[in-house]
Structure 1
């Protein structure tokens, strides 16, 4: 533990993310390999973790309601596929997908023949995804980020769109306090607005006194 150091602060310091434009350039380069393209679409537009992506089955999707259920995580341990419960209690969640992503995932599932409802739909390895990340970033001419940074990218996109920490935390399976703390530098500062409104109130008080 002494060698590794404080992991929490390290992750905070190293947080990288792609803008929507950078991700679009990257995803264009992924189109030659459908499994890679659709996997990265899920990671970026839903902000799910890598293990959550690799555990997904057909049964997790409800295209009528436009949702994907996150209730398990996948990892490879000692040469065996292991499905575990998600990272935390909050990680159990239902994510509403954008309509275009529902269409894309229906396209992808229609390519997988003889698939049973409980079969995993992304049977690639984590090292495959990391290799594809390298390939796509190089081809697109965008900075190389980690797979987990796609989750940061999703969260920063939602902050940029004006959603609250509470709403974002609900979507990505975090505690809202963690979102507030980890991404504080991305939330627009409300200090000026606060001061201006206090100024208006104060001025009104002064005028009333005189």
Structure 2
């Protein structure tokens, strides 16, 4: 069974009566096992596959002698050595001096690349709903720089330089540079929580993020929406884009919610679309309007349970940026982000006299704080309405 193995758990766990042994698979490190026997013996093991595809099982240590911190460190390094070795027999022979990777496994702190594969990736897939962004940031910005660098050698100075160079030299968006900083900080915090040997402090601490003007919103007009939809209907890059974008406009849903929508989530009798788990962590139920219902029926059906499936992967789209970017440029709306369609949905509601509570509910904001950004639109609408009384006094 799966279990986050801690020192406290190791100390208290006992083998159930009637069983000779029990195995607990760690929820953080794939293949790391605590074996508990009826005799009272407790042993750490690692099970994984070598580069040749052969399964390897290796004892990590006696749990009554080795603490969980040391066991985790050894398991991670051993796992990396096994998976990179092309000779399983060398791995199994602990006395073979030719396997320098294995023999030196305890000599240095784990590299960021090894930690990413063995700990960070399993962690974000388990705890973060939209983990694709985390993976993208690591693969495109962090691993090219730090993949083979031991985590205890990643300095604050080098991180500050990376953060700065992304904006100054590479001309990337400050928001992207900030994500690199945030995700690297998260990786170090996870390593500290797991008590990875050599990682005792977070080198990102104290590094200032770029200031962003997140309050700046872009709302599309009716004329702009028409141009955008016309450009999308003409595109051949993605056959689903002409359904995805109108759905974003009609519902105010997040991009990921639309891309992962399943047909079973749509109740055509009650005219509701249930989003199982939103960003807030709770399910959300949206009404299916006549326009949305018409759009739903126009979406080509496939054997996939998802509304939109990539023809290349036969899985839900991870990104539709390329086709979206081509369409918005063609429409002369290069400054419009996909998320602005969500803002435009909210703007349309507020300007139609709907309350901020209604907007909050439909957008799925867990608190009213995020919805308050649309309050000024409500005030403008009220001002316009109140101004109508001016005609009474000439």
Is TM more than 0.5 here?
yes
Does residue 51 of structure 1 match 2:243? no
SS at match of 2:240: helix
Does residue 11 of structure 1 match 2:11? no
Q: Give the match for residue 23 of structure 1.
A: 225
Counterpart of 1:152 (choices 336, 339, 343) is 343
> Structure 1 residues 183 and 123, CA, compared in 2 at 3 Å: closer, same or farther?
same
What displacement does 1:3 show? 4.2
What displacement does 1:68 show? 1.1
Deviation per CA, 1:54-93: give whole Å up to 9, x if none: 2210101122222211123xxxxxxxxxxxxx2114x521
CA contact (8 A) 1:66 1:99 kept: no
Mean CA deviation greater in 51-60 or 18-27: 18-27
Q: Give the match for residue 204 of structure 2.
A: none
> Structure 1 residues 107 and 143, CA, compared in 2 at 3 Å: closer, same or farther?
same
2:254, 2:360 → 1: CA distance? 13
1:146, 1:193 → 2: CA distance? 31
What displacement does 1:188 show? 2.6
Structure number, greater radius of gyration: 2
> Structure 1 residues 12 and 114, CA, compared in 2 at 3 Å: closer, same or farther?
same
SS at match of 1:12: coil
The RMSD of aligned alpha carbons is 2.7
Does residue 135 of structure 1 match 2:135? no
Matching of residues 1-210 of structure 1 within 5 Å:
2-5=207-210, 10-13=213-216, 15-32=217-234, 33-72=238-277, 86-89=278-281, 92-108=283-299, 111-115=300-304, 119-124=305-310, 125-127=317-319, 129-174=320-365, 175-179=367-371, 181-189=372-380, 190=382
Task: Report the TM-score when normalising by structure 1.
Answer: 0.71
CA contact (8 A) 1:133 1:144 kept: no
| Residue ranges of structure 1 left out of the alignment (5+ in a row) | 73-85, 195-210
Task: Report the TM-score when normalising by structure 2.
Answer: 0.40
CA contact (8 A) 2:356 2:375 kept: no
2:383, 2:219 → 1: CA distance? 25
CA contact (8 A) 1:168 1:176 kept: no
| Residue ranges of structure 2 left out of the alignment (5+ in a row) | 1-181, 183-206, 311-316, 387-394
SS at match of 1:123: coil
CA contact (8 A) 1:66 1:96 kept: yes
Deviation per CA, 1:10-59: give whole Å up to 9, x if none: 3213x212123211220122124540011111111100111111221010
1:101, 1:178 → 2: CA distance? 25
SS at match of 1:185: helix
SS at match of 1:151: helix
2:321, 2:378 → 1: CA distance? 29
- How many equivalent residue pairs? 172
> Which of the pair has the greater relative contact order for Cα pairs under 8 Å at 6+ separation?
1
1:23, 1:193 → 2: CA distance? 25
